[in-house]
Amino acid sequence: MKRLFFLFLLGLHLVSAQGAELLLQVRDIWTGRPVANATVKVEQGQPLPVDVSGIVRLQVLTSNTAIKVEAPGYFPETLKLKNGQSPLLIYLIPLEQTTFITVVGKPFYKSPLSIPSHRTVISFADRLLVQYQLTKSLALQSGLFLKSYGPAASLQTISLRGMSAEQTQVLIDGIPLNNLQLGSVDLSVFEGEDVGAVEIYRGSSALLGGSGAIGGSLNLRSRDPEETLQVQVATGWSSLNNQRAAVSLDVPIGYSKQLVTFSHANGLNQYKTKSNGQWVALRNRDFRQNHVSWKSVVEFAANWKFFWRISHLKKTIGSPRPFTNVSSEQTNLARMRQDNTLAYGGFRYQKPGLEFYFTSYLRNEWMDYYDPAVSINQQPLHSLHFNQEKGLQGRFHYSPRQRLLFKSGVEFAKQAISSTDAGQHGRSRASFYLLNDWRLFEKRFTLQAFSFNSGFRLEKVGRWPLIFLPSAGITLEWPGWQLFVSGGKNFRIPGFNDLYWVPGGNPDLKPEASVNWEFGLRNNLAWKQWLFQGQWSLFQNRVKNQIKWLPSASGYWQPFNIAGIKSRGLEVELSASDLKERLKIALNYHYMKTIKNKAEFPGDETVGREVPFLPREKLTFQLQLNQKAAMGSFNLQYMSFRYTDFSNNPHLILPGFVEASLALTYGLTWKTLSLRPGLQIENLFNKHYSVLPGYPLPGRYFNLNLNLKFNQPSHGGSK
């Protein structure tokens, strides 16, 4: 009887094994998004295509079945299946990787390899719910504070981990964008159709350690041209009396692919703020902005890629002072004009284990500032500023073994300004970096892998001595989990305004210097039809010689190196979604304190006090629904109070607030033509609040959008 029962169980097991089904999904290792054009080949069988969600269902006969996964634009991956692995996530490495980071060895299929620090990639591939709103996407991230001076087209700067906008490095495709005079970047000018993704690197490393990366780096990745002919038209209207229109054209020609984009936006930004119990209409917030870009990629030989991109921005906008009362608002007539051009080109040679990248660039930034309310020598204030940077970059990646990678690079640039208020000055910048990634003990003991990352960066800017910036980090991997720790140094060279502004410039300023460390844990787990992801990071950053403008004995403001700033905090990111991404929930939180930790003079009572305008806590909640042609999103943001000066007087604060937004779209398709109308409701609860003192943000307002897309069939190719 026992023997018959045993044979029955054995037969049942064999039958169930024969009919066992494996759910397999293919994703991009950088963005985490599904790869819709992949194929999966089981043993010697025919390749099976995945669906639009990167999913394929396989019948598994044995626990040692070999499969091969391929997709255009990615390195192929081969692996053997094991029992109990359903669903199985396979991460493919894109051939076109970021110029900064290159993946070493084989990725662990449930936990993609990453640098030992908190990194986030936001992809704008879908371009559906929130139209190209880079700043809105950034505001929802942990460890990041967006300093907003108003609605559309208004100045938007960024703070990473409690550091200033001048201490956050912003790049596009690896080209530095920080203004040479001010040191910061206005992110509102990048609300364009040619941004494909943004990479957020918190903290510093030898690769991303150029001047200004004390808090971290933001690398915008320009959108790549498509393989097929595409035309996209987008238009929108806002209840603030703003309008926008944009056109993008993808044209493949022979061995080359072209992407041309043009966008225009203008408006009045009409809204009111409350002052002494009365509503006051705000003035001088109108704007007009045009942006055009052309990107070309040429691949006429194996392993070689040539590229160039030219973009031009022209913008006119009111430049209001902080709102104080009705009379000051009526006399506020300051105007600002920008005229910026960026051009770069180069080539990339890439094959397994070897990559060489070279590019040269030129960026010109022209600004005109006019304020009739301010007189100098009995003439209205009228300032002209022209900044220029010319540079060369070379990067070399070499992997002598599958689990060992060396990265090195050189950069050189000439910087110059011509300003009515800061004079004419120039300087050169040169740097060299070397870094290695070493992956050890893969699949030994209980560890999936152990990775060691170390390197250094040498930087020479102008008259300052050579700066040495070491960094190191380790990553321990278990199935579905990663534990990492890292540390390093960084710096910021004073901007030209800090040194030479008249009156007040201080040519004796020292570079800012920082030491930072980070400890974190991340997970990436699939269960049935769900994917759960999480990341927890503890960090600390100490800065000395921080540059701050203070009143001087001569009666005007002047920059000084103050003693020191310390920032420390916790970042948490949690998300859950079904594999087809029909439902996604994300929760991001950070707790952070940035304090002054050294005295500037005997008896300095501000030591230990928090830096003004930075919130201790920020919590964001995101809910996204995608049901066939309909899509919707709900975003909620809580921000705690902010002190308005170093006294940390509890009566001198900006109150905390809760702000929400809602977006809805619906898609209509006819052959190769698609139409998608959309509605966005901003400040859903109609809260009266401001992020910075004197710059109130609008109450509830609406955006109506309409997207039209023509897509030529690929005829069996891939996009």
Q: Encode pLDDT of 248-274 as tens digits.
A: 999 999 899 999 999 999 999 999 998
- Which residues contact residue 609 at a Cβ distance below 8 angstroms, ignoring those fewer than 6 apart? 595, 596, 643, 646, 647, 648
Query: What pLDDT was estimated at residue 129?
Result: 40
Q: Encode pLDDT of 644-693 as tens digits.
A: 988 999 999 999 999 999 999 999 988 889 999 999 999 999 999 999 99
Task: Report the predicted TM-score, pTM, of the whole model to 2 decimal places.
Answer: 0.89
Query: What pLDDT was estimated at residue 127?
Result: 53
Whether 399 and 405 have beta carbons less than 8 Å apart is answered as: yes
Does 631 or 528 have the greater pLDDT score? 631
Q: CA-CA distance, 699 to 282, in Å (whole number)?
A: 13
Res. 18 pLDDT band, cuts 50 70 90? very low
Query: What pLDDT was estimated at residue 113?
Result: 39
Q: Encoding tokens for residue 711?
A: 């897509």
Mean pLDDT, all residues of the chain: 86
pLDDT more than 90, % of the chain: 51
Q: Is 299 exposed, middle or buried (0-12, 13-18, 19+ CB in 10 A)?
A: middle
Whether 622 and 584 have beta carbons less than 8 Å apart is answered as: yes
Query: Pick from 120, 146, 23: which is nearest to 659 by CA?
Result: 146
Query: Pick from 191, 300, 179, 172: which is nearest to 244 by CA?
Result: 191
Query: What pLDDT was estimated at residue 7?
Result: 39
Q: Which of 430-434, 446-450, 709-713 has the highest mean pLDDT?
A: 430-434
Res. 524 pLDDT band, cuts 50 70 90? confident
The DSSP element (H or E) to which 18 belongs, if any, is helix 2-18
Does 37 or 18 have the greater pLDDT score? 37
Reply yes or no on whether the pLDDT at 103 is more than 60: no
Q: Encode pLDDT of 50-59 as tens digits.
A: 998 888 888 7
Query: What pLDDT was estimated at residue 621?
Result: 96
Reply yes or no on whether the pLDDT at 428 is more than 80: yes
Q: Which of 132-141, 186-195, 401-410, 515-524 has the highest mean pLDDT?
A: 515-524
Query: What pLDDT was estimated at residue 400?
Result: 79
Whether 518 and 475 have beta carbons less than 8 Å apart is answered as: no
Reply yes or no on whether the pLDDT at 413 is more than 70: yes
Whether 715 and 229 have beta carbons less than 8 Å apart is answered as: no
Q: Encode pLDDT of 307-320 as tens digits.
A: 999 999 999 999 88
Does 92 or 96 have the greater pLDDT score? 92
Query: What pLDDT was estimated at residue 360?
Result: 98
Reply yes or no on whether the pLDDT at 84 is more than 90: no
Query: What pLDDT was estimated at residue 13?
Result: 40
Q: Encode pLDDT of 267-300 as tens digits.
A: 999 999 988 888 999 999 999 999 999 999 999 8
Query: What pLDDT was estimated at residue 529?
Result: 85
- Which residues contact residue 511 at a Cβ distance below 8 angstroms, ignoring those fewer than 6 apart? 211, 461, 464, 467, 491, 492, 493, 494, 545
Reply yes or no on whether the pLDDT at 64 is more than 90: no
Does 130 or 399 have the greater pLDDT score? 399
Query: What pLDDT was estimated at residue 331?
Result: 85
Query: Pick from 218, 231, 164: which is nearest to 190 by CA?
Result: 218
- Domains of the chain and any CATH numbers: 19-92 (2.60.40.1120), 119-711 (2.40.170.20)
Query: What pLDDT was estimated at residue 392?
Result: 97
Scanning 191-340, the segments in alpha helix (DSSP H) are 326-330
> What is the rounded average pLDDT of the residues 209-230?
88
- Which residues contact residue 719 at a Cβ distance below 8 angstroms, ignoring those fewer than 6 apart? 37, 226, 227, 228
Give the distance from CA 193 to its chain's centroid.
Answer: 15
Query: What pLDDT was estimated at residue 85?
Result: 61
Query: What pLDDT was estimated at residue 358?
Result: 95
Q: CA-CA distance, 716 to 719, in Å (whole number)?
A: 10
Q: Of 24-28, 499-503, 696-700, where does mean pLDDT reach its minimum?
A: 24-28
The residue count for the chain = 719
Query: What pLDDT was estimated at residue 23?
Result: 83
Q: Encode pLDDT of 558-602 as tens digits.
A: 888 887 899 999 999 999 999 888 999 999 999 999 999 888 778
Reply yes or no on whether the pLDDT at 496 is more than 50: yes
Whether 488 and 472 have beta carbons less than 8 Å apart is answered as: yes
Query: What pLDDT was estimated at residue 497?
Result: 94
Reply yes or no on whether the pLDDT at 521 is more than 90: yes
> What is the rounded average pLDDT of the residues 378-385?
89
Reply yes or no on whether the pLDDT at 425 is more than 90: yes
pLDDT more than 70, % of the chain: 89
Reply yes or no on whether the pLDDT at 477 is more than 90: no
Res. 11 pLDDT band, cuts 50 70 90? very low
Res. 83 pLDDT band, cuts 50 70 90? low
